[in-house]
Amino acid sequence: MHQALPYRTWVPTTGGGSSAGLSSATIEPSDGPMNPGVGMKDVTCVTKMVSENAVIVFGRRGCCMCHVVMRLLLGLGVNPTVFEVDEEDEAAVVDELSRVIAGEDAKEGRPQFPAVFMGGQLFGGLERVMATHISGELVPILKKAGALWL
């Protein structure tokens, strides 16, 4: 299985509450459950993460649909970053993501979790990922976003 190099590797922080960085949720294929990310109170990093990651998945903590997206992407050889959203941060994160989306394509509206961003843009939810995978369109898009290298 081919490993993708993310645009930038995040330096994991040791403690919680640090505003400078965020614990990277880079998943190793051998991992079972996802490593919990540190909950971020300062959500402006969200915008940064979207632009700096080839593929990033935003999902509620413990959400099983998010798990499905993850397993699908992993199965393709993608190394997606995962941002687990705590309940109390949810509104703030959605707002921030809406701002990111509004920049490109206003008709997307408020994102629903799980939300997959590729190459800095909102790609969609689980349904879109499934549909494009079945139609064979997903892998070329992933390659174009730099998430998959042949």
Partner 1 sequence: MNSSSTHFVTSRRIGIYEPLHQISTWGESFKTNGCPNTSASTIAELEAKLDNQSEDTSHGTPGPSEKYDQEATKPVDKVQRRLAQNREAARKSRLRKKAYVQELESSRVKLMQLEQELERARQQGLYLGAGLDAGHLGFSGAVNSGIAAFEMEYGHWVEEQSSQICELRTALHAHISDVELRILVETAMNHYFNLFRMKATAAKADVFYMMSGMWKTSAERFFLWIGGFRPSELLKVLVPQLDPLTDQQILDVCNLRQSCQQAEDALTQGMEKLQQILAEAVAAGQLGEGSYIPQLATALEKLEAVVSFVNQADHLRQETLQQMVRILTIRQAARGLLALGEYFQRLRALSSLWATRPREPA
**Min separation Cβ 69 and partner 1, Å:** 8
- Whichever of 14 and 135 has its CB closer to partner 1, that residue is 135
Residue-wise burial string across 98-122, b where 16 or more C-beta atoms lie within 10 A, e elsewhere: eebbeeeeeeeeebebbbbbbbbeb
**Min separation Cβ 56 and partner 1, Å:** 18
As given in the structure block, the two tokens for residue 61 are 């903590």
**Min separation Cβ 71 and partner 1, Å:** 4
- Whichever of 41 and 71 has its CB closer to partner 1, that residue is 71
d(CA 118, CA 76): 15
Beta carbons of 51 and 41 less than 8 angstroms apart: no
Site residues, partner 1 (CB under 8 A): 62-65, 67-69, 71-72, 75-76, 126-127, 130-131, 133-136
- Whichever of 94 and 126 has its CB closer to partner 1, that residue is 126
